[in-house]
Amino acid sequence: MIPYGRQFIDEDDIRAVTEVLRSDWLTTGPKVVEFEQAIADYVGAKYAVAVSSGTAALHCAMYAIGINPSDEVILSPITFAATANCVVYQGATPVFSDVEPDTLLLDPEQIESKITLNTRAITVVDYAGHPCDYDSLRKIADKNNLVLVADACHALGAEYKGKKVGFLADLNIFSFHPVKHITSGEGGMITTDNADYANRMRIFRNHGITRDPKCFSPLSSALRPPASDSSWFYEMVDLGYNYRITDFQCALGISQLRKLPKFLERRREIAALYDEALADIPGIEPLGLRADVLPAKQFALHAPRSRPSNHAYHLYVIRIDSNVLGIDRNSLFAKLQEKGIGVNVHYIPVHLHPFYREKYHTGAGLFPIAEAAYEQIISIPMFPGMTDADVEKVIKTMQTVIHHYRNGDC
């Protein structure tokens, strides 16, 4: 079975982890700081805060901007549940808004109709690795005094008009789950240029505890030892969580980040092979690219100064037209699985999950573009360790299955 995504671990990664296991620091040590700095430098953000998962990172972001129960956050239904769940963790209301039909990114034109007096933030998702249109999103956010959050878990290494995803929103979230661009086993990171957000998240990931005298409350001044003797002293100034990440995870992350350019290059090569093969299969199409996003096969050729946008290809999502193919998504999915192609569906629109239907009275019919897309999409295998033979097998299998259906053999 060729899975839809898989980590790529080499001897350098293993060495990096075992070195930490032999050291004094298993958690909250120097590798955490080093990983944060490496990611901040890579994306070009001032601050990075490492936490135990992408989900924890999303929760930290909601906390940092002070999302509370009276607030609403606008987001796309085409995402992993965690993008919405983090709003609920803060007691607030996720407000879904429909996507663009070609890219399945949150449609900027529909966002404004969802804004109310309670709206505090917009969370966008660079779905599949396609960077959102940050210029138009920024305009909407600024005009309405909203915080712009990017769930960039698909988009480490993606570029928007020559700039890396990771500082274009006020808070930018990454995940290091094994299927993502780089892994730390489990892990997440928030990048931001805002010092206050970064500080709040560092406190939140550690139970709401601070050792920084600047953050201490006048309420506990009587408890505090004299400054000369206070290095052990800490205060819990708010309710936080244990969202810390370990040093050996961060050592893996640092080692993986060195390979990211190669990983991205390979993902784009695979995307170019798929693009080419799909052009010959009527009834199957890749998702659309916005005009400023370079097609995968042109990535290696573009002039470095031309400042295009670049897709990071976390996923390669195909869209099927069942009228042309004579089969629906579920049948094609089942056939591909049966023949060893580990396909997946990203995603079941979040507003259709029972939890959201029951708690927020969402349901079918609210977001027709997202719901129609859901019926048609399949994620086919995409990971840097795929060989050309693997890619060939995926393409050949799709061709064979479709050919059989056309001839009525299945």
Ligand X SMILES: *Cc1c(COP(=O)(O)O)cnc(C)c1O
Catalytic positions? 180
Nearest to 80 by CA among 57, 100, 64, 102: 57
- Of 146-154, 160-168, 323-331, 335-343: span binding ligand X (CB under 6 A): 146-154
- CA pair distance 110, 105, nearest whole angstrom: 11
Q: Of 53 and 362, which CB lies nearer to ligand X in the complex structure?
A: 53
Q: Is 80 in the site for ligand X (CB under 6 A)?
A: yes
Q: Of 133 and 235, which CB lies nearer to ligand X in the complex structure?
A: 133
Interface with ligand X in residues 308-337 (CB under 6 A): none
- At its nearest, how many Å lie between ligand X and the CB of residue 367? 17
Q: Is 344 in the site for ligand X (CB under 6 A)?
A: no
- At its nearest, how many Å lie between ligand X and the CB of residue 226? 43
- CA pair distance 50, 129, nearest whole angstrom: 21
Q: Of 127 and 333, which CB lies nearer to ligand X in the complex structure?
A: 127
Interface with ligand X in residues 47-76 (CB under 6 A): 53-55
Q: Of 184 and 362, which CB lies nearer to ligand X in the complex structure?
A: 184
User: Using an 8 Å Cβ cutoff, are 292 and 161 in contact?
Assistant: yes
Residue 327: its H or E element: none
Q: Which residue among 153, 168, 250, 377 contacts ligand X (CB under 6 A)?
A: 153
Q: Is 250 in the site for ligand X (CB under 6 A)?
A: no
Interface with ligand X in residues 174-203 (CB under 6 A): 175, 177, 188
- CA pair distance 146, 144, nearest whole angstrom: 6
Q: Is 94 in the site for ligand X (CB under 6 A)?
A: no
Q: Of 67 and 401, which CB lies nearer to ligand X in the complex structure?
A: 67
The separation between the first and the last C-alpha atoms of the chain, rounded to the nearest angstrom, is 21
User: Using an 8 Å Cβ cutoff, are 221 and 144 in contact?
Assistant: no
Structure token pair of residue 385: 């360790």
- At its nearest, how many Å lie between ligand X and the CB of residue 338? 26
Q: Beta strand 316-320 with 159-160: parallel, antiparallel or unpaired? A: unpaired
Q: Of 278 and 378, which CB lies nearer to ligand X in the complex structure?
A: 378
- At its nearest, how many Å lie between ligand X and the CB of residue 377? 15
Q: Which residue among 31, 59, 120, 154 contacts ligand X (CB under 6 A)?
A: 154
Report angle CA 278, 314, 5 to the nearest 5 degrees: 85
Q: Which residue among 36, 72, 133, 151 contacts ligand X (CB under 6 A)?
A: 151
DSSP string spanning 352-377? GSHHHHHHH---TTS-HHHHHHHTTE
Q: Is 83 in the site for ligand X (CB under 6 A)?
A: yes
Q: Of 42 and 174, which CB lies nearer to ligand X in the complex structure?
A: 174
Q: Beta strand 147-151 with 119-125: parallel, antiparallel or unpaired? A: parallel
Q: How many helices (H) and strands (E) does the chain have?
A: 13, 14
- At its nearest, how many Å lie between ligand X and the CB of residue 182? 12
For 298, the 3-state DSSP assignment is helix
Q: Specify the residue for token string 């079975």.
A: 1
Q: Which residue among 79, 255, 379, 397 contacts ligand X (CB under 6 A)?
A: 79
The residue whose Cβ lies closest to ligand X is 54
- Of 148-156, 193-201, 213-221, 319-327: span binding ligand X (CB under 6 A): 148-156
- At its nearest, how many Å lie between ligand X and the CB of residue 335? 26
- By CB atoms closer than 10 A (0-12, 13-18, 19+), residue 295 is middle
Enumerate residues 6+ apart whose C-beta is below 8 A from 34: 250, 254
Residue 304: its H or E element: none
* Residues lying near ligand X in the complex (CB under 6 A): 53-55, 79-80, 82-83, 125, 151, 153-154, 175, 177, 188
